[in-house]
Amino acid sequence: MKQAQNQILVIFGASGDLTKRKLIPALFDLFKQKLLPKNFAVLGASRTPLSDEDFRNRANEFLPQDEMLDDFRSKLYYQQVYTEKAEDFAPLKARLNKLSEESGINPNYIFYLSTPPSMYAVIPKLLYENGLSKSEEYFRRLIVEKPFGTDLKTAKTLNVQLLNYFSENQIYRIDHYLGKETVQNMLVTRFSNGIFEPLWNRRYIERVEITSSEKLGVENRGGYYDHSGALRDMVQNHLLQIAGFVAMEPPVVAEADAIRNEILKIFQSLRPIEEKDVSKCVIRGQYTASKINGDSVKGYREEAGVNPCSRTETFVALKFFIDNWRWADVPFLVRTGKKLPTRVTEIVITFKKAPHHLFGPTGIKTHNQLIIRIQPDEGLLLKFGMKTPGAGFNVQPVNMNFHYSSLSGAKLPTAYERLLHDCMTGDATLYARGDAVEKAWEFVQPVINTWKNKPEIPIYGYPAGTWGPEEAEQLIENGDWRYPCKNLTNDGLYCEL
């Protein structure tokens, strides 16, 4: 990886869960790989009153014991901040100046908003008013966690607010799904292999499936999730971004602007789902009480913080089309849900069958498929037909697979490792751009509006531990969804069960 310049990373919301579970461990992994700058500091910032030593001791609680731990801890600092008025950031500014001078770090700053969304416009404003958002000589960058708005209107408002204080090339909207190694490898798989790119179009591909299933329910996030739902929480951001990588045209160069321009073109080409088609093209569901492996499991409406009459979807499946030359009339099918049989995210490219069934009824009865597993057990699986040994031409499906875990000595970085390091080096390729975020909201907004205006559109129940409502099957005309947990012993990629 490219070496980053000397800099300070400021994490707002440093006493929160994301910092503890993801950000500090990712930074420690980068430190152990010698991928952090020589002069580097992390300044945690939040309302919680902590000293530098308190913050470092908290790091001990969630980092593994390692001979490099003490050296890493010495780079952690903490500053209590308030966020009501411009003067509240004066101590933060003074602390940054002091850290820069004492540690020999140029005033290159990254500001990470690991905060509630209500602070996404507040903190940038206070940084701007204290002269921290711009510099003629040094870089200033802002990382924003999702959600990027809760609908099209709020997304546009947020973009306008951010652009009042930071320019677009300073803003890094983080989507941790794009930090997955297999998502990035999609570009290499497509554009560096002559066997795939010629087939990657409507002439040879019958459909594209993208599945992201979770074994867990809403856990202790019922209050938040009941105002969000699967469409907002997963489809509008993570899964549409993945669809963009699957469907994009070859960029002119492998650089951030070129790649993100192609993804934007895909979002601009999405065929709108009209109100009259919502009930046919979008299936929503909600998990109900069930038994999984003999244990009783609550239904969604029984979870803490959830309205007992809630109509929030915990499952959504939709079919859409991309109206351009490459993908005309090829259905893209996306589904995501909670309390499904396993945790898995994968892309399935289903190719059209051979035009002539040369081997008659003994020929292969299934389509060729390329399965790109994003998590867990990252890898690729190709399903094709092979002659069964013996007389005749009986054909059976076989698998050829690759697992990243089989690469000896290769470390698979976590999503936050990759994305944090990219921001440190100024590479925005795997970050969402404001215009693409708005286009994604523009696509899902008619569905949200229709559900709101037409309460008669059903929300189907599905027992916890199953693959969602049976009605989702109607979205695929010729065949079934791929169910990753069936026939595991014959499948090259495995799931958790």
HSE-up of residue 208 (Cα within 13 Å, Cβ side): 25
CA separation for the pair 76, 454 (Å, rounded): 52
CA separation for the pair 230, 74 (Å, rounded): 41
Residue 146: closest CA among 123, 124, 175, 166: 175
Q: How far apart are the first and last CA of the chain?
A: 35
Catalytic residue among 176, 227, 238, 421: 238
In the structure encoding, which two tokens stand for residue 229, read together?
């739902």
For 171-196, letters b (16+ CB in 10 Å) and e give bbbbbbbbbbbbbbbbbebeeeeeee
Place of tokens 């803003």: 171
CA separation for the pair 344, 182 (Å, rounded): 13
Is 176 a catalytic site residue? no
Instruction: Return the H-helix or E-strand segment holding 27.
Output: helix 24-32
Residues 6 or more apart whose CB falls under 8 angstroms from that of 107 comprise 8, 96, 97, 100, 135, 138
CA separation for the pair 245, 259 (Å, rounded): 9
CA separation for the pair 402, 370 (Å, rounded): 11
Contact 89, 106 (CB under 8 A): no
Instruction: Return the H-helix or E-strand segment holding 385.
Output: strand 379-387
Cis peptide before 107 (omega within 30 of 0): no
Catalytic residue set: 238
